[in-house]
Amino acid sequence: MKKIVSLTVLTALVAGCMDLNSSNEPATYGQEGFGEEQLAPAANNLTTDAYLMAAAPKYYIGSPYKIEDVQYIPGEDLTYNQTGIAGIVPVELNGSKTSDGEIFNSNQLVATSKTLPLPSIVKVTNLENGNSVVVRVNNRGPFVNTRIMDLSAAAAQQIGMNGTAKVQIQIMADESAAVKKATLGEVEKAEPVKEEVVVEKVAVVEPAPVATGDYSVQVAAVYSEDNANALAKELAPYGNATVVREGDMYKVRIIDLDAANARRVIDSLRSDKGMAPGLLKAGKWVNADSI
């Protein structure tokens, strides 16, 4: 039998274990919804396991980016309530690092989102059978425009998903605010700032790969050419960083990579910069974790 944990008890538990801090940022969202299903009520009475509320290694939002012709703008939105198609994260990604620095575990109730802050807590309802589950969003993705979210195998099983399904995703505002505060509090404790000492942290980057392949790693898509050029200069140690203009956007890419070097660049940008880069092969978008 599932235990029902009230919001009051959950909040008291988090507050008793962690020093909480908070901040606010604006948000917009670029994914189409369906809007004609019988949606679940916003109130939630599902069990929220304690590990869902644990502090993450970092609180991550990230920069705007595009998947093909669709732009996504990550940010905070405590009213988030969207419908769309969800898929399942491949279990082969077990042990890989997520965008907020956690280790992906397909047996945990976790998920990806194109725009929500990481970590966030959401309720996911399978609109095909009415089953719901509470999950921790801790990674960017899916990097295709046909899906709004990917769930871990454990979360998908709880709502009866065997492949893809139409779902409703509702932010749990109080829980998401609490896990954000816990994460920011842990970061502040781990990295205290001493006023009398100024230390510039420089990431150790391996030599840039030789330009020999048809893969490109896209790091950002921005409207400012100056900002794009500055970012490309900063990323030069990772490879042949260049700025590509498409319409009104300036896209920063590390180009001419073979599969091995593209994998190395993606992993390095995730660990060194906290970025969630996309991947192109011969100019077409592919899954960043497919190589």
The predicted-structure confidence for 192-228, as pLDDT tens digits, reads as follows: 444 444 444 445 555 555 557 899 999 888 888 888 8
Tokens 């980016």, residue? Answer: 65
Is residue 25 domain-resident? yes
Q: What is the largest CA-CA distance in the chain?
A: 59
Are 65 and 172 in a shared domain? yes
The pTM of the full predicted model, rounded to 2 decimals, is: 0.53
Is residue 58 exposed (0-12), middle (13-18) or buried (19+ Cβ within 10 Å)?
A: middle
Residues 252 and 155 in one domain: no
Which residues are CB-contacts of 139 (< 8 A; sequence separation ≥ 6)? 89, 98, 99, 100, 102, 104, 110, 111, 112, 113, 118
| Averaged confidence pLDDT in the chain | 79
The 10s digit of each residue's pLDDT in 123-166 is 999 999 999 999 999 999 999 999 999 999 999 999 999 999 99
- At 12 the pLDDT is 36
- For residues 84 and 133, state if they share a domain: yes
pLDDT digits (tens, 9 = 90+) for 178-193: 999 999 995 444 444 4
pLDDT higher than 90, residue 249: no
If asked whether residues 131 and 47 sit together in one domain, one would say yes
Give the structural domain span for 230.
215-286
Same domain, 81 and 146: yes
In a domain, 79, yes or no: yes
> Is 168 found in the same domain as 83?
yes
Question: Which amino acid is present at 175?
Answer: E
- Report how many domains make up the chain: 2
Q: Are residues 38 and 115 in the same domain?
A: yes
For the stretch 60-117, pLDDT in tens is 999 999 998 899 999 998 899 999 999 999 988 999 999 999 999 999 999 999 999 9
Number of other residues whose CB lies within 10 A of the CB of residue 160: 13
Q: The CATH number of the domain where 238 resides is what?
A: 3.30.70.1070
In a domain, 31, yes or no: yes
Out of 186, 202, 231, a domain closes at: 186
